[in-house]
Amino acid sequence: MDGGVRPVAAVDQAHPTRYWTRLEDGRVRCDVCPRACALHEGQRGFCFVRARQGDEIVLTTYGRSSGFCVDPIEKKPLNHFLPGTSVLSFGTAGCNLGCRFCQNWDISKSREVDTLADAASPEGIAEAAERLGCRSVAFTYNDPVIFLEYAIDVADACRERGIKAVAVTAGYISPEPRRDFYAHMDAANVDLKAFTEDFYHRVCFGHLAPVLETLEYLKHETEVWFEITNLLIPDENDSDEEIDAMTRWVVERLGPDVPMHFTAFHPDFKMMDHPPTPPETLTRARRIALANGVRYAYTGNVSDVRGQSTYCHACGAVLIERDWYALGDWNLTPDGRCAACGARCAGVFEGEPGRWGARRLPVRLSAP
Ligand code: SF4
């Protein structure tokens, strides 16, 4: 279905970037993420979308997208950020992690520019979001860290129209670009894939420490609203001990108000040999998180009203009833307090909930 948006011309795909260093051995190092790819002329980085051109690193996917879709904000997942509203979601191609279980591998592992079928300028995306009635735009499907120049320009264009910017990310980014990137974001969902260096190294070809640094940075040095997603894979990262250690760390270093989403894995990409996550695993993780002091813990990718509703941390009343992405009872005051006891619910709330529901609406921004 067409979003009713004016066609936009494709923009230059070799976009200049800031974060790189010329090395003495003649290579040019990309400084966007901890991978620090050092490139010879004509080479691309691990993420595939940043490449050396001349003596600089360029972004090759500026203004190109693998597709646009209007989603419920709960699908990002964000349960405490403008609940019930719609978000214009899009991604590009490539990724800076190499997760063997990737659930979006057709996009993240894409080596073909034809994945990037849709073209849109930042202004075109902001205009589309406004016309479609979206309260926010989300950089998702693949990690916006690797296309941060494009994401920042889109976020700025959206903010000028009062539309918020949401990053769905693994948080694998270096300190300087991290500051720049999050200065333009209003909310984020950060994927904390596990709580061991072994998992990050063996399954994602990355490291845990930079992700934890991003989480601490968001909490202590920004106003960005953020929630955490933890995808639980049977026998890989789902032990009581690991969930206990992770949730203790979250409460100790980030406080009790950061919502956590425990979501179900399904066999995909290079991890077809593991079974899907049983719903009991998600319930068990949620129980451990709550016992450790996480105030808002959710199950995801399953139908579970009890595990997906929001409860008042003070009196236990149901504040927002939720099943998958659909909202039910709403017991929050317009300024985000419990209607029963007045305790504040952490998050970003603006009066009444949105009425988008669980719909998913693909849209095309450029002319066919
Ligand atoms: S953003 Fe891409 S090119 Fe840059 S260091 Fe990370 S993986 Fe390498």
**pLDDT at residue 2, rounded to an integer:** 32
Query: Which ligand 1 atom lies nearest to the CA of residue 49?
Result: 2
Q: What pLDDT, in 10s, does the model give residues 31-47?
A: 999 999 999 999 999 99
Q: How confident is the model at residue 8 (pLDDT cuts 50, 70, 90)?
A: very low
**pLDDT at residue 7, rounded to an integer:** 30
Task: Using a pLDDT cut of 90, give the percent of the chain over it.
Answer: 79
Report CA(102)–ligand 1 centroid distance (Å).
Answer: 18
Query: Which ligand 1 atom lies nearest to the CA of residue 48?
Result: 2
- Alpha-carbon torsion, ordered 208, 210, 216, 222, to 10 deg: -140
**pLDDT at residue 1, rounded to an integer:** 31
Q: What pLDDT, in 10s, does the model give residues 124-141?
A: 999 999 999 999 999 998
Q: Which of 15, 43, 62, 146 best tests ligand 1's pocket when mutated (most atoms within 8 Å of CB)?
A: 146
Report CA(151)–ligand 1 centroid distance (Å).
Answer: 16
Q: What pLDDT, in 10s, does the model give residues 172-222?
A: 999 999 999 999 999 999 999 999 999 999 999 999 999 999 999 999 999
Q: What is the pTM of this model?
A: 0.93
- Alpha-carbon torsion, ordered 21, 27, 30, 36, to 10 deg: -110
Report CA(211)–ligand 1 centroid distance (Å).
Answer: 15
Measure the CA angle with vertex 120, ends 119 and 123; round to 5°.
170
pLDDT at residue 10 is higher than 50: no
Average pLDDT rounded to a whole number, residues 319-348 = 96
Q: How confident is the model at residue 109 (pLDDT cuts 50, 70, 90)?
A: low
Report CA(267)–ligand 1 centroid distance (Å).
Answer: 27
Query: Which ligand 1 atom lies nearest to the CA of residue 51?
Result: 3
**pLDDT at residue 267, rounded to an integer:** 81
Average pLDDT rounded to a whole number, residues 154-179 = 97
Q: What pLDDT, in 10s, does the model give residues 43-92?
A: 999 999 999 999 999 999 899 888 899 999 999 999 999 999 999 998 88
Average pLDDT rounded to a whole number, residues 91-101 = 87
Q: Which of 17, 20, 28, 96 best tests ligand 1's pocket when mutated (most atoms within 8 Å of CB)?
A: 96
**pLDDT at residue 9, rounded to an integer:** 35
**pLDDT at residue 229, rounded to an integer:** 97
**pLDDT at residue 3, rounded to an integer:** 33
Q: Which of 17, 18, 32, 56 best tests ligand 1's pocket when mutated (most atoms within 8 Å of CB)?
A: 32
Task: Using a pLDDT cut of 70, give the percent of the chain over it.
Answer: 92
Query: Which ligand 1 atom lies nearest to the CA of residue 44?
Result: 3
Q: Tell me the pLDDT of the chain averaged across its residues.
A: 91
Which residues' Cβ are closer than 6 Å to ligand 1? 30, 32-33, 35-37, 45-47, 50, 96, 146
pLDDT at residue 304 is higher than 90: yes
Strand order in the sheet with 20-22: 20-22, 28-30, 38-39
**pLDDT at residue 12, rounded to an integer:** 43
pLDDT at residue 363 is higher than 50: yes
Q: How confident is the model at residue 279 (pLDDT cuts 50, 70, 90)?
A: very high
Task: Report which protein residue has its CA nearest ligand 1's atom 4.
Answer: 30
Report CA(368)–ligand 1 centroid distance (Å).
Answer: 32
Distance CA 3, CA 363 (A): 5
**Beta-carbon contacts of residue 323 (< 8 Å; ≥ 6 apart):** 303, 304, 305, 308
**pLDDT at residue 86, rounded to an integer:** 98
Report CA(45)–ligand 1 centroid distance (Å).
Answer: 5
HEC assignment per residue over the chain: CCCCCCCCCCCCCCEECCCEEECCCCCEEECCCCCCCEECCCCECCCCCEEEECCEEEECCCCEECEEEEEEHHHCCCCCECCCCEEEEEECCCCCCCCCCCCCHHHHCCCCHHHCCEECCHHHHHHHHHHCCCCEEEECCCCHHHHHHHHHHHHHHHHCCCCEEEEEECCCCCHHHHHHHHCCCCEEEEECCCCCHHHHHHHHCCCCHHHHHHHHHHHHHCCCEEEEEEEECCCCCCCHHHHHHHHHHHHHHHCCCCCEEEEECCCECCECCCCCCCHHHHHHHHHHHHHCCCCCEEEECCCCHHHHCEECCCCCCEEEEEECCEEEEECECCCCEECCCCCECCCECCCCCCCCCCCCEEECCCCC
Report CA(28)–ligand 1 centroid distance (Å).
Answer: 11
Task: Report which protein residue has its CA nearest ligand 1's atom 5.
Answer: 36
> Is residue 312 a contact partner of residue 345, using CB atoms and an 8 Å limit?
yes
Query: Which ligand 1 atom lies nearest to the CA of residue 19?
Result: 4
Whether cis (ω within 30° of 0) applies to the bond prior to 77 is: yes
Q: What pLDDT, in 10s, does the model give residues 241-268?
A: 999 999 999 999 999 999 999 999 988 7
**pLDDT at residue 66, rounded to an integer:** 82
